[in-house]
Amino acid sequence: MLKFNIRGENVEVTDSIRDYVVKRISKLQKFFEDNVEATAHVNLKVYPNRTYKVEVTIPLPYLTLRAEETSNDMYGSVDLVTDKLERQIRKYKTKINRKSREKGFKNLEFVPSDDDSANNDDLKIVRTKQVSLKPMDPEEAVLQMDMLGHDFFVFQDAETNGTSIVYRRRDNRYGLIEAE
């Protein structure tokens, strides 16, 4: 069951906008298990040049979905971001199903994707997040990292049970750091 937290910056969230956002994003529920409860955080922005940006974040127990789109039409931006989220879900499910068939798993336990953001410009920590590490393989961690749009992702390696980090290298390939 999806709940909605819709917020507007420089725009009033009218009933028609709210109804449209709920209608479009609710279509993603067909991909979730029936017992999953999540809150879709939707941020609507209007810029001075009359462009509209829609950001949607849906934290799930096994995955965090996030997408943003900017266009000249608020409703068009909602459509674009919904399509982008659906593509992310399909890509994730395909990848997980392929991995489970390769490894012979019947039931996979997915990993939440908590991200950790810090600004080191002045070596001052401006944000702290708690992360819950559950087992996954490096390929799944890379997928999570890409879906979140981050440059690194911390996870527990399913094989070694150790903490590992995947990161995007300057050559746009991936690296893996394994803690001892």
Does residue 112 form part of some domain? no
pTM over 0.75: no
Assess whether 44 and 85 both reside in one domain: yes
Q: Which domain holds residue 164?
A: 135-179
CATH number at residue 65: 3.30.160.100
The pLDDT value given to residue 78 = 92
The pLDDT value given to residue 104 = 59
Per-residue tokens: 73: 């039409």
Q: How crowded is residue 108: how many other Cβ atoms within 10 Å of its Cβ?
A: 14
Does residue 117 form part of some domain? no
| C-beta separation of 71 from 83 below 8 A | no
The pLDDT value given to residue 98 = 76
CA–CA separation, 14 vs 8, rounded Å?
Answer: 10
The pLDDT value given to residue 154 = 92
The number of domains in the chain is: 2
Cβ neighbors of 106 (< 8 A, separation 6 or more) are 100
pLDDT lower than 50: segments of the chain? 106-121
Assess whether 47 and 95 both reside in one domain: yes
The pLDDT value given to residue 126 = 76
